[in-house]
Amino acid sequence: MTSSAPRHTALDALHRSLGATMTDFAGWDMPLRYGSERDEHNAVRTRAGLFDLSHMGEITVTGPQAAELLNFALVGNIASVGVGRARYTMICQADGGILDDLIVYRLGETEYMVVANASNAQVVLDALTERAAGFDAEVRDDRDAYALIAVQGPESPGIVKSLTDADLDGLKYYAGLPGTVAGVPALIARTGYTGEDGFELFVKPEHAVELWQALTKAGEGVGLVPCGLSCRDTLRLEAGMPLYGHELSADLTPYDAGLGRVVKFDKGDFVGREALRVAAEHSNHEGPRVLVGLIAEGRRVPRAGYAVVAEGKVIGEVTSGAPSPTLGKPIAMAYVEPMYAAPGTEGVGVDIRGSHEPYEVVALPFYKRQK
């Protein structure tokens, strides 16, 4: 599906000039970190960070029946999203398994932008194209039409405000409006994957470098730093946000992941409806496993795939784990049996290379910003 040569974003040369450590991510060469990932993480929590997210997959859906197509293809009610607003949703298989989690922006009366994870962009594009049969709507691969730059953290509104006359104060969370940032035409979205306030700026690839440089300059006085994928992962983990391939997969339904709220049955037929109705009924009696947070009592870091143990038996599996710069301890998300899922449950541990390290079960998220 992906060719052997990695793809490069429009900011590739700039990342290298900043001394970024690059890594392959879903077929893209992306910055993992520029300096210390802990410093980058803390900058986003306390000041601001600048991210290149151009690996994300943008798919445009247009036409008189664009809303009907998306209502049929996705689990959420997309037709009810107002122009200029966005919604978090999922695309599922007929058996209810999650193909990807998505953000859908309604750009106009009959125009939507679906943003998929890089690793699933082709799968989502293929599924939408297939599901479009019979609808008066067009599905367009716009992955090469956009670069995506995110500014995240408490200082981000001031930074972006200094470069635009768009009404940012009126821009709610999960909303997007067209505007100009540093003279560059952009879709300005108040979304993010860090648990902080911030913006995601969709621009043409040829404008990416000048926008990045303008944002860097505007953020100089308030501690803005360039940030890589490594701290993006610890930020989203602290914020309890799922990552596809870890907390979400084709083997899980939205109910398994504790995200059944994204499924809307009152909108008519959609792919996976029957299977998800059954899953919804079962979820009232607790599924086989529940997603929980775990905080280490010691220093050893749990990783995805490690077994969660209690009373001498395996009761679950870690899906994501890392040292938490904000909490100062290792943390993890894990699926565990329901009887061990209550916050404060005693005797739960993680098997880290044969030694059972003690962990505290907590409710997600680990971190919530003070609004």
What's the CA gap between 250 and 190, in Å, rounded? 28
pTM: 0.96
| Cβ atoms of residues 292 and 302 within 8 Å | no
**What would the pLDDT profile of 25-54 be if each residue is shown by its tens digit?**
999 999 999 999 999 999 999 999 999 999
Position 15 pLDDT exceeds 50: yes
**Mean pLDDT calculated for residue range 80-85:** 97
Close Cβ partners of 94 (under 8 Å, ≥ 6 residues apart): 271, 272, 275
Position 2 pLDDT exceeds 50: no
How high is the pLDDT of residue 370? 86
* Three-state SS letters, 93-115: CCCCCEEEEEEEEEEECCEEEEE
* Three-state SS letters, 125-162: HHHHHHHCCCCCCEEEECCCCCEEEEEECCCHHHHHHC
Domains 7-54+146-238 and 288-371 share a fold: no
Position 287 pLDDT exceeds 80: no
7-54+146-238 CATH: 3.30.1360.120
**Mean pLDDT calculated for residue range 138-153:** 98
Domain ranges of the chain: 7-54+146-238, 288-371
288-371 CATH: 2.40.30.110
Least confident of 113-117, 125-129, 286-290: 286-290
Position 279 pLDDT exceeds 90: yes
Least confident of 7-21, 58-72, 81-95, 286-300: 286-300
**What would the pLDDT profile of 319-329 be if each residue is shown by its tens digit?**
999 999 999 99
**Mean pLDDT calculated for residue range 236-255:** 97
Average pLDDT, the chain: 96
**What would the pLDDT profile of 159-207 be if each residue is shown by its tens digit?**
999 999 999 999 999 999 999 999 999 999 999 999 999 999 999 999 9
Q: Work out the pLDDT band at 283, boundaries 50, 70, 90.
A: confident
How high is the pLDDT of residue 4? 74
Q: Which residues are annotated as a binding site for substrate?
A: 200
